[in-house]
Structures are given as structure tokens and as C-alpha cells.
Structure 1
């Protein structure tokens, strides 16, 4: 991809966030550390600071003009536009962006702790201390509470989209399929979310609300408690089918505190209206955190 990353003076600005266009000559691209369906994540240095560089390009063999107009440009512009307006300790900070079809780059702050997913699957899989589980859950809940206060729905909350600093504080990242709440009333016609973490109404492609994030939060909380992959004995498609058609959910650990068990089960309720909002979730978790200190 290096041929796309050589500055040639024809960078295109995103209309909603022109001020976020970076000077590519000041970006030093390092090794890749993660990959997705159409994107790759690289270490980088921009103006002397460590950054993460998300590079997205058209799939090979596609009509780049069509894909660029209907998919890549739209997702890129939305992600930059949303990130540029967000400021919170538990949300990753945008550094800048750059685009020249068929490649787009989103540059964010880099956190040395890596993804929550990698952390949970490492270190032998021993159970996390309950205090750490609650602290991390609170970081995530506070971040989502802030997003919802800004009328933003993440729609792809999962451990791979949560990153850690060197003190195990958690930040929410990857806003590639996030949307304003006003945009969620229509049915979903494109790929949104990740099956193992996806609310039933999203799987069905139906109109949805901010409550899809509450469902995904419950699955992430289950991950924190178990350090396992949800529905690991199924393929992603099988997991989605079971959630929608059999009301399947991960098995709650036997040693799970009753308050967290109840919280998970409320959050992954089939009925979105039965799921708590994040103001309630933060308050409940803060009270539980205080009870642990007594």
C-alpha cells in the first residue's frame, strides 16, 4: 500500500472536517498491528507523538468509483465527523485524517496497552480481580453514556474496539459504523456490528436505537468476567441465528455477583425497552464499586 501513502499534493478534504486533514509528510508509518475486512491498523508517529493509523481501501476487484462513492467515502466522512466532535477520557482522541481514493486514513491517539480483546485472551486466562472488572466496566459505561449524550450510537461495541492505556484505563475506539441516533430509525441495509456482540434487532436489520449498545455492553461485561469469546462453540453466523431464533445468551458464570448477573441479563434482554440506559448503568456500577470499598 505504500504507493497510496506517498504524498503527491492531491489530498482531498472531508467537507465536515477539513481542519482535521493532516500533513502526510509529517506522518511516519510503522509496522501493522491489526487487520479488519477492509482496513489495517499501523503504528505511527505524527509530529513526534505516537499514533494509531487506520488505513482503509476498496476491496480488490470492486468498482472503485462505485465503492468509493457509496461506501468508503461515506464511512470515512462519518467516522471523522463523529470523532472530531467527541471529547471524553474514555473515548479515543482523533488526531487527524487524510484521503486519496481508493485509500482513507484515520489517525488517532495510540494507547500502549493494546485492545481489551488481546488482554483478555492473554496471561493464561486467569480470572480478573473483581475490582478490575468493575473499574473497566465503568470506563466503558461512562464512555458510552457520553456518546449517547451527544446522540451518537456506537453500534459495534466489543472487546476488540476497546483499548487500554498502561494503567488499564479503557477507551472506546473504531467509529466506522457509528451513527447519530436520528439515523438509527431506518432499517439497516449494510453490514453494521459484529455478530457475537450484536443485538437481535441489528441482526434482523431492523430500525434500532441506542439500546443496541446496552446489549453489546452486556456481552463485553461477560467477557470481562470470563475472559472467553462469546458463543465460542459456534460460528459467528450460528451465534447470530441462535440469539435471534432461540433467544440464546452466554451462560452467566456461577461465581458472578448477583448484581452483575442481573445487570447483564437486563442489558441483553430481547426487548430493547427493557434494557437500562447508561445513566442507570453508571450509577449502578458506581454504587457497586463503593460497596466493594467498605
Structure 2
């Protein structure tokens, strides 16, 4: 009897997990279709599951926030018809009307007001004060053309051993520009995360994961780190400084244990995330893929690490991975040290090696 009961409970738990996965998938879908101004798709989802009208993304933004931001009136009408809260607040405490006003969406403003919408929160926090033109259509990604940066009245607001941070202007908008020192502009080691972690003005990404490492071209020989929505700019006073910052920030599957535990942490949280990404590259699957993300993060915080099963890579890469996910963040190498390790591994790798991590 007890065996049968346990089996029944396990089956129920598995069913609940599947339902939760489906719910997360539908949440993403309705936010996406709201963003794409696809009212028909939004309506279909709501007819299947009316509770999706209350869906929230990572920033606690509802589909109505998304529609209001872009001025998609038909989508907004559909959402309101299904009972959307016109005064829902996102993580910045903005209501949909505050977003619509910030974006100057006149028709949307009128619609929301007619349904009792109120304007409060950080009005317009998602917008530049001046209109910004989209990138040129022939660009493969969203880049600022360096020639459009105006340094005529620039002010240096920070400087380190690798570069300087200047306050400049881009298309009339004040921007912070992190510029490599001319004497180091040809140094191949001054790249990606190594530069961001340069003292004294350190940028901690805090959400490094495969989805935030972008392919610049189809041959995948050029990567860029993207999505700095959770990054933190800090002023370093000492090489061993740690900081009291928000715990549980980022994606659980790639999260350093000190972040999950709400302990003080520094730039080495990105090194830990890099280790988990490198493991995924080596093994071909995410770390602890048999766990839900939060459960995996808890398991890691308890001192466990993913097992290496693949045999097609060299031991030095495994050793580097293990150094980077060390439980003691002070023992993890810096990104400059990591790059040196990778360069050394590349030099010793036979040219006919079947594993193409270092294909140039």
C-alpha cells in the first residue's frame, strides 16, 4: 500500500512539473505576441487560459505593459476585455499608463484613461528623453557607430589600467563611453569580460548564461556578451573588496553560490557563471540539466558541482572549469588569467584536433 501511495505522489508531482513548464511557456508566448502586435494570437491564448492576462516577465511587466509601451491598441483592447489590471505595476512601479505617457502613445493613453488607468511610478523610465533612431538596416546587430559619438565636451569620469570612462554624447543623448587606452588598443587580451572587470570601475554582469552570449555571424567565430540589464557598476577601492548587492540576481542554473545565499560577492560571480557555460560547451548540455533551475542552484550552493562525462576534450579545459567554479571566490582566476590559460591551451592543441573551440 505504501509503495503504491508513493508512486501515485511521484506521478502527481511529475504532472505538476509538466504543468508548470507549460505555464512558463505560455507566459513567454503571450508576452511575445503582445510585443509583436499579434492580437489574434493573444486572444487565442487567453481563450485557452484566461489567467495569462496576469502573466508577468522577469521585470514583473504584464502583457498590457508591453502593449502600452508600443502603442498596440488592438492588443490592449483584447487584454482589457479579458480583465487585465490597467494599474498593474512593474518592478520600477510603473503602470501601463505611465509607460504609454513616457512613449507618447496618444491613442493608448486615451484608452487606458477611459478604463480607469492611473499614471504613477517612474514615468517614462524605459525611454531616452530624446528620440533615438534605429540602427542602420545593414547592421547584423545593435551597435553604436563610433563616428556618432561626440567627444567635443567629454569629461573623464573614471580611469583604470586598461581604459577610461568618459561622459560623452550620442545623437544628443548623454552616454558613458568605456574606451581602451590607445597604448593597449591592439592588445588581444583586452577583450570581452576581461575589460568589463577592469579596476577601478568594474562592471559585474551578474547574468552570464548561454543566451546572453551572442553570435555575431553565422560561422560562430565571433561572440559578444549581451544583456546588461542586471549589471552593476561599482567603484573598486581595493583588489579584494566585496560588495553588498542584491541576492538571487541572475539565472539560477548559472548562479554563483554566494549570490543564491545572499552573501557579499564581487566580480568573481561572473567567473563562476563562465565556468558553468564552459561546462555546457564541453558536455553539450546545461549543468544539472536533470534539476529544475532553482533546485540545481541549491544543489550547487550545498557544494556540489556537475560531473564530467565527455571524453572529447583535453584535461586542461576541465581543470580551468574547476578552478572557475571554486566555492571560494578568491580562488577563482580573473578573466585576464582565464584568457592566458585559454591562449596557452590553444598553443598546445594539435591543429588536427577534432574539437573546434579555438577555431579562428
The 1:61/1:187 distance shift into structure 2, 3 A limit, reads: farther
Would you say 1:280 and 2:337 are equivalent positions?
yes
Match of 1:136 in 2: none
Aligned equivalents of 1:208, 1:288: Cα separation in 2: 29
Gap regions ≥5 residues in structure 2:
1-34, 39-55, 67-84, 100-121, 143-187, 352-360
Q: How does 1:11-160 map to 2 (within 5 A)?
A: 37-38=58-59, 62-63=88-89, 67-68=93-94, 101=124, 103-104=126-127, 110-111=140-141, 142-149=191-198, 150-160=201-211
Would you say 1:180 and 2:227 are equivalent positions?
no
Q: Is the 8 A contact 1:142 1:282 kept in 2?
A: no
Match of 1:203 in 2: 260
Gap regions ≥5 residues in structure 1:
1-28, 43-58, 74-98, 113-138
Q: Is the 8 A contact 2:248 2:261 kept in 1?
A: no
1:113-148 C-alpha deviation (Å, 9 max, x unpaired): xxxxxxxxxxxxxxxxxxxxxxxxxx9994110111
Deviation at 1:182, TM superposition (A): 3.4
Aligned equivalents of 1:67, 1:103: Cα separation in 2: 12
Deviation at 1:154, TM superposition (A): 0.8
Aligned equivalents of 1:233, 1:279: Cα separation in 2: 33
Deviation at 1:180, TM superposition (A): 1.8
Match of 1:194 in 2: 251
Which has the greater radius of gyration? 2
The 1:190/1:279 distance shift into structure 2, 3 A limit, reads: closer
Aligned equivalents of 1:159, 1:289: Cα separation in 2: 22
When normalised by structure 1's length, the TM-score is 0.55
The 1:251/1:279 distance shift into structure 2, 3 A limit, reads: same
Match of 1:226 in 2: 283
Q: Which stretches of structure 1, 4 residues or longer, exceed 4 Å deviation after superposition?
A: 29-32, 102-110
- Point out the structure with the larger strand share: 1
Aligned equivalents of 2:141, 2:228: Cα separation in 1: 16
Query: Whose relative contact order is higher, 1 or 2, with alpha carbons under 8 Å and at least 6 apart?
Result: 1
1:31-89 C-alpha deviation (Å, 9 max, x unpaired): 89xx952479x9xxxxxxxxxxxxxxxx97644696249xx99xxxxxxxxxxxxxxxx
Would you say 1:164 and 2:215 are equivalent positions?
yes
The 1:187/1:37 distance shift into structure 2, 3 A limit, reads: same
Would you say 1:235 and 2:292 are equivalent positions?
yes
The 1:154/1:103 distance shift into structure 2, 3 A limit, reads: closer
Deviation at 1:181, TM superposition (A): 3.4
